[in-house]
Amino acid sequence: MKQEEGIIGKIVGGMIRRTVRARLRNLYWSPPKHPIPGPAIFYINHHGWLDGYLMFHAVTKLGMRSLDWIEEFDTFPLFAKVGGMRFSRGDVIGRANTVRTTIKMMRSEKRSLVIFPEGVMHRPGELLPFGKALETVATKVPEATMVPIAIVYELSMHERPEAWISFGEPHQFESLIGCEEKLAGQLVALREAISSGEKFEILANGTPSINERMSMKGLKKA
């Protein structure tokens, strides 16, 4: 099955794509160098409101049907049709049920998991300590391929922000500290690549800046 389930899934997926297209100038990525065996655990820094939407684009492009824990799930439960799962803050029992269901689906259906192990969205800078949920899933599904993924946003050269996604080398789980170090290194490498002008593939087209949309340079002089 695809990431978008049924008609409702296609509607939600369309909403996500329109939002990214309207909010960003472009979404770039450096995709995995080799196919990733599933199930996978994609663990990502959480510095931007669009993070979940960007990862929807990535896993859809990879064809890896994935689950995504959403703290604000109750605000828009239709996210369930694109892999979203309820992970409400303060609901200890509900969160435990979601973790158990996730483990079951990863084992039986080879679903992958998109997880933001810092637990909360925060402004860019140092990573926050990773929560135990990542370790729980990784140890209960030891065959899962761990993949550190860095996301960086920048508003400078264009009217709208640009966003980049960078996939790190797959590995097996050893420790939370080890995962923190790998993701921190991936973030540093991505920021350096952006600063150096490295070329990235476009994962999703956004909206060009007004000078690009409305340029009159091509008009002939009267």
Bridge-based pairing of strands 145-154 and 162-167 is antiparallel
**Tens-digit pLDDT string for the chain (222 aa):** 689 999 999 999 999 999 999 999 999 999 999 999 999 999 999 999 999 999 999 999 999 999 999 999 999 999 999 999 999 988 999 999 999 999 999 999 999 999 999 999 999 989 999 999 999 999 999 999 999 999 999 988 888 999 999 999 999 999 999 999 999 999 999 999 999 999 999 999 999 888 777 755 555 554
Q: Alpha-carbon distance 145 to 163, whole Å? A: 25
Output the six-digit token pair for 71.
């703290």
Every domain of the chain and the residues it spans: 6-207
This prediction has a pTM of 0.93
Structure-block tokens of residue 80: 């369930």
Place of tokens 């991505």: 190
Q: Which candidate, 163, 165, 159, places its Cα nearest to that of 207? A: 159
| CA–CA dist 145, 130 (Å, integer) | 18
3-state DSSP assignment of residue 131: coil
Task: Specify the pLDDT at position 211.
Answer: 75
Backbone angles phi, psi at 221, to 5 degrees: -70, 140
